[in-house]
Amino acid sequence: MRFDILTIFPEALRELLNIGILGQARAAGVIDVQLHDLREYTDDPHRLVDDRPYGGGAGMLMKVEPFVRGIEAIRAEVDGDVRILLLSPQGRALKQSDAASWATLDGLILLCGRYEGVDERITAFIDDEISIGDYVLAGGETAAAVVVEATARMTPGVVGKYDSIQSDSFYDKPRLGAPQYTRPPEFRGLKVPDVLLSGDHAKIDAFREAEAWKKTMKNRPELLGLNLEEMSDNG
Ligand code: SAM
């Protein structure tokens, strides 16, 4: 699978997308990540990617033309099923299920905004607008890295042991992963639950299943359709 990222700061992503399992998967040719400097797709001597917003207002807006030229140049290089995503706080919220479905594609083209965002006409050239959360970042680069990492993890051959993915949070149900422990068996009076040291795999599986639901209830009750504030208000 190939990832193409259009950004004015390609160097910011170079190291981040070359470490750990991503770096290994790139070296092994399982995934290909291409970083593109958006300024390469400008057509003026100053390589301008931004301009003042029509109607006034604070800040500058990214122009639509460099993005569209960039998309067209990348599309000419990548065959098959390719999706184009704009990273934006105005997009729909990224889900694990998106990462799983994008991992089956041939390519993903990611557009990173900066300043006050991108000229709205970009929406005519993309497949989806994706937000990584209800907060505003200075640019789309970190959001693009999140999309690449989440999608690459779901691409066969990237994570060595696929069953480690299957026990992850959100894998096939709206539920968090189970709490995990490693050595030592006791640290400052905090003990690893006995069952995990028992060697009884049926009991360990049942314990983990129950703990995963408990943790979901405690930290993310809304995933279970519960509103704890409302429930406590109602006694
Ligand atoms: N004026 C925009 C608004 O109010 O929605 C915010 C623009 S933000 C400062 C600049 C760029 O950062 C965006 O174009 C987008 O690419 C990126 N960005 C910021 N927050 C993001 C988020 N939560 N998810 C994805 N991308 C985000």
Per-residue pLDDT tens for 118-133? 999 999 999 999 999 9
Asked whether the predicted pLDDT for residue 228 surpasses 80, the reply is no
Ligand 1 pocket check for 114: Cβ under 6 Å: yes
pLDDT higher than 90, residue 186: yes
How many A from CA of 149 to the centre of ligand 1? Answer: 19
Question: CATH code for 2-153?
Answer: 3.40.1280.10
What confidence score (pLDDT) does residue 44 get?
94
What mean pLDDT comes out for the span 54-83?
Answer: 97
CA of 66 to the centre of ligand 1 (A): 18
| 135 CA: nearest ligand 1 atom | 23
The CB density around residue 224, as the number of other CB atoms within 10 Å, is 12
- Closest atom, ligand 1, to C-alpha of 139: 12
Fold of domain 173-233: Trp Operon Repressor; Chain A (1.10.1270)
Annotation marks residue 116 as catalytic: yes
Active site residue 156: no
Given the residues 37, 116, 119, 129, the one annotated as active site: 116
**Ligand 1 touching residue 89 (CB < 6 A):** yes
| Residue 168 among the catalytic residues | yes
pLDDT at 235: 64
Residue in the block written with tokens 């099923």: 81
DSSP secondary structure letter of residue 93: E
Structure tokens at 207: 């314990």
DSSP code of residue 225: T
Kindly state the percentage of the chain with pLDDT values over 70.
Answer: 100
- Burial class of 54 by CB neighbour count within 10 A (0 to 12, 13 to 18, 19+): exposed
**DSSP 8-state class, residue 45:** T
Q: Among 53, 89, 174, 221, which one carries the catalytic annotation?
A: 89
Four-residue CA torsion sign, 125, 126, 127, 128:
negative
For residue 84, give Cα distances in angstroms to 27, 44, 79, 126: 24, 25, 13, 5
Atom of ligand 1 nearest to the CA of 133: 23
Domain with CATH 3.40.1280.10 in the chain: 2-153
Provide CATH 1.10.1270.20 ranges for the chain: 173-233
Give pLDDT, residue 230: 80
